[in-house]
């Protein structure tokens, strides 16, 4: 049983099928829509990404899925970004690359270049996961997985704020406040007090070459579900309980009973292995693990509310200090931390079926995506837009509310119950869920067949270098 049909659950079904073969029955339970936090919203007849939207060029699982499923990627449209501090823009991009380089150097010295190098170095180590997983290695904890990638440095990154790490590394306060904080706000709705690891992933989320899936990222989930030949059960799992049952061959076997509610009533079924692919949070999943001894603990895992508001209208450039709106050319606005600001960011978005002629035109009518902690009020919309005709709001419990220090929840909840979403406490992103899914599929396989040598191996990086 796989509980949840987001990118984590559907990729888990896909990887389980690869490992366990064609004869195994795989059921995927979903209480809402396939895709979970990958979802679109319809504004005036066109669909826009409302949840997970951008994918990094080095997110190799996502890349592989798109290729394998025959999906495609829309043309990328360049847009100019500005950073607003509540009074004025502290940074504005130009359409000339060389001007941007000079502006960054003038404002922040070599901070920007050094930051790119820092993120690149982390990404280099992070990429080791693909080699480990290609060789079938698995990990029984998130900390173990991260340690295998980047040693103690990665573990330390979980337990230190981005602010502290960057200050210690000599980045300037101005750069952290004016550039790094706005990136954290747009991606995780939080400031530089999040862990350095989540911070590095968020910074990678502003690299060049980001992409998305034509027709919507959720198509990856429906495609994976189909490719896995799993059965989708539309229902809400309410409980998991261990049961002892007689075997046909004599003796007994321990199985997990998954109880769920669906439109046709309550039902339950028995499984050898259960993968939980949803945050175990009362507000999000509300699954009870009945009669386990020792009990499966409840993790204190508070998720951060982020509201995505889609507005079709004309931006009010004067709100951002522009006297002459025809000079305004920014299509992405990030913000610094300022209590008087009621939004985290706003930017023009293209429909998931975008066509090249639908270019981003800041001062024309466009669809803007506004990220905020609280719903945007009518008065606030009237400040942001000089005219608008339609508004759609999507409220998310989006990603963990990151705090330091924080241990990641376990991967193994019970003998054959595995939890994928603990990885979000390192960092939440589509690729992170796909990595956790492959890890859980490999781990459950190796534990089932008792391949101890494929679990938690030390010095994998060195070992695989010599193997090659």
Ligand X SMILES: Cc1cc2nc3c(=O)[nH]c(=O)nc-3n(C[C@H](O)[C@H](O)[C@H](O)COP(=O)(O)OP(=O)(O)OC[C@H]3O[C@@H](n4cnc5c(N)ncnc54)[C@H](O)[C@@H]3O)c2cc1C
- Span near ligand X by CB under 6 A; candidates 52-60, 114-122, 244-252, 335-343: 52-60
Residue 66: CB minimum distance to ligand X, A? 13
Q: Scan residues 426-445 and list those touching ligand X (CB under 6 A).
A: 428-431, 433
Which CB, 54 or 464, lies closer to ligand LLCL4O7M? 54
Q: Which of 304, 311, 429 is nearest to 370 (CA)?
A: 311
Per-residue interface string for the shown chain with ligand LLCL4O7M, residues 342-361, x marking contact by CB under 6 A: -----x--------------
- Give a three-class secondary structure readout of the chain: CEECCEHHHHHHHHHHHHHHCCCCCCEEEECCCCECCCCEEEECCEEEECCCCCECCCCHHHHHHHHHCCCCCCCCCCCCEEEECCCCEEEECCCCHHHHHHHHHHHHCCHHHHHHHHHHHHHHHHCHHHHHHHCCCECCCHHHHHHHHHHHHHHHHHHCEHHHHHHHCCCCHHHHHHHHHHHHHHHHCCCCCCEHHHHHHHHHCCCCCCECCCCCCHHHHHHHHHHHCCEEEECEEEEEEEEEEECCCCCEEEEEEEEEEECCEEEEEEECCEEECCCCCCCCCCCEEECCCCCCCCCCCCEEEEEEEEEEEEECHHHHCCCCHHHCCCCEEEECCCCCCCCCEEEECCCCCCCCCCCCCCCCCEEEEEEECCCCCHHHHHHHEEEEEEEEEEEEEEEECCCCCCCCCCCEEECCEEECHHHHHCCCCHHHHHHHHHHHHHHHHHHHCCCHHHECCCCHHHHHHHHC
Considering CB under 6 A, how many residues would be counted as binding ligand X? 38
Rounded to a whole number of angstroms, the minimum distance from the CB of residue 289 to ligand LLCL4O7M is 28
* Binding residue for ligand X, selected from 26, 43, 51, 186, defined by CB under 6 A: 51
Confirm or reject binding of residue 237 to ligand LLCL4O7M (CB under 6 A): no
Closer CB to ligand LLCL4O7M, residue 2 or residue 184? 184
33, 22, 351: which is closest to 222 by C-alpha? 33
Segment contacting ligand X by CB under 6 A, of 2-10, 163-171, 315-323, 405-413: 2-10
Q: Does 376 bind ligand X (CB under 6 A)?
A: no
Report what 66 binds from ligand X, ligand LLCL4O7M, none; CB cut-off 5-8 Å by kind.
Answer: none
Structure tokens at 228: 């896995």
Of all residues in this chain, which one has the CB nearest to ligand LLCL4O7M in the complex?
205
Q: Which does 5 bind (CB under 5 to 8 A by kind): ligand X, ligand LLCL4O7M, none?
A: ligand X
Q: Smallest distance from the beta carbon of 379 to ligand LLCL4O7M, in angstroms?
A: 24
223 contacts which partner out of ligand X, ligand LLCL4O7M, none, CB within 5 to 8 A by kind? Answer: none
276 contacts which partner out of ligand X, ligand LLCL4O7M, none, CB within 5 to 8 A by kind?
A: none
- Using CB under 6 A as the binding rule, whether residue 381 contacts ligand X is answered as no
Q: Nearer to ligand X by C-beta: 95 or 231?
A: 231
| Contact flag: residue 40 with ligand LLCL4O7M (CB under 6 A) | no
Quick one: what does residue 201 bind among ligand X, ligand LLCL4O7M, none, with the CB cut-off 5 to 8 Å set by partner type?
ligand LLCL4O7M
At its nearest, how many Å lie between ligand LLCL4O7M and the CB of residue 436? 11
Tell me how many residues contact ligand LLCL4O7M (CB under 6 A): 20
Q: From CA 306, how far away is CA 171, in angstroms rounded?
A: 28
Site for ligand X contains 4 (CB under 6 A): yes
Residue ranges that bind ligand X, judged by CB under 6 A? 3-9, 29-32, 36-38, 51-55, 236-237, 277-278, 284-287, 306, 308, 396, 398-399, 421, 428-431, 433
Residue ranges that bind ligand LLCL4O7M, judged by CB under 6 A? 53-56, 59, 123, 126, 186-188, 201-202, 204-205, 347, 399, 428-429, 431-432
């Amino acid at each position: 049983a796989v509980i949840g049909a987001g990118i984590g659950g559907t990729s888990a079904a896909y990887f389980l099928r690869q490992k366990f073969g064609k004869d195994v029955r795989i059921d995927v339970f979903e209480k809402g829509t396939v895709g979970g936090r990958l979802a679109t919203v319809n504004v005036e007849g066109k669909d826009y990404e409302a949840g997970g939207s951008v994918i990094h060029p080095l997110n190799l699982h996502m890349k592989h899925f798109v290729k394998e499923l025959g999906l495609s990627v829309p043309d990328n449209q360049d847009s100019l970004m500005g950073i607003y501090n509540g009074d004025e823009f502290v940074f504005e991009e130009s359409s000339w690359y060389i001007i941007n380089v000079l502006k960054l150097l003038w404002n922040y010295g070599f901070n920007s270049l050094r930051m790119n190098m820092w993120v690149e170095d982390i990404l280099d180590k992070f990429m080791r996961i693909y080699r480990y997983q290609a060789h079938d290695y698995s990990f029984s904890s998130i900390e173990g997985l991260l340690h295998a990638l980047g040693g103690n440095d990665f573990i330390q990154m979980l337990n230190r704020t981005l602010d502290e790490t960057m200050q210690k590394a000599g980045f300037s306060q101005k750069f952290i406040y004016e550039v790094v904080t706005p990136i954290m706000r747009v991606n995780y709705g939080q400031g530089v007090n999040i862990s350095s690891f989540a911070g590095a992933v968020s910074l990678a989320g502003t690299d060049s070459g980001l992409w998305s899936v034509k027709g919507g990222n959720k198509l990856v989930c429906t495609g994976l579900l189909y490719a896995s030949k799993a059965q989708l059960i539309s229902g809400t799992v309410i409980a998991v309980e261990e049961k002892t049952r007689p075997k046909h061959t004599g003796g007994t076997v321990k199985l997990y009973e998954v109880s769920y509610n669906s439109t046709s009533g309550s039902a339950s079924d028995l499984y050898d292995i259960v993968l939980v692919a949803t945050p175990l949070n009362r507000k999000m999943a509300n699954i009870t693990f009945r009669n386990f001894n020792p009990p499966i603990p409840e993790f204190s895992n508070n998720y951060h509310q982020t509201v995505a508001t889609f507005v079709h209208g004309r931006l009010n450039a004067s709100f951002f200090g522009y006297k002459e709106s025809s000079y305004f050319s920014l299509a992405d606005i990030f913000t610094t931390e300022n209590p008087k600001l009621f939004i985290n960011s706003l930017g023009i978005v293209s429909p998931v079926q975008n066509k090249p002629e639908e270019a981003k035109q800041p001062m024309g009518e466009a669809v803007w995506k506004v990220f905020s902690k609280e719903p945007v009020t009518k008065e606030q919309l009237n400040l942001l837009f000089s005219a608008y005709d339609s508004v759609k709001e999507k409220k998310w419990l989006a990603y963990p509310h990151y705090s330091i220090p924080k241990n990641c929840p376990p991967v193994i909840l019970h003998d054959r119950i595995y939890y994928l979403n603990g990885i979000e406490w390192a960092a939440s992103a589509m690729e992170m869920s796909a990595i956790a899914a492959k890890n859980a599929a490999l781990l459950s396989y190796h534990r089932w067949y008792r391949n101890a040598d494929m679990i938690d191996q030390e010095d994998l990086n060195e070992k695989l270098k010599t193997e090659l």
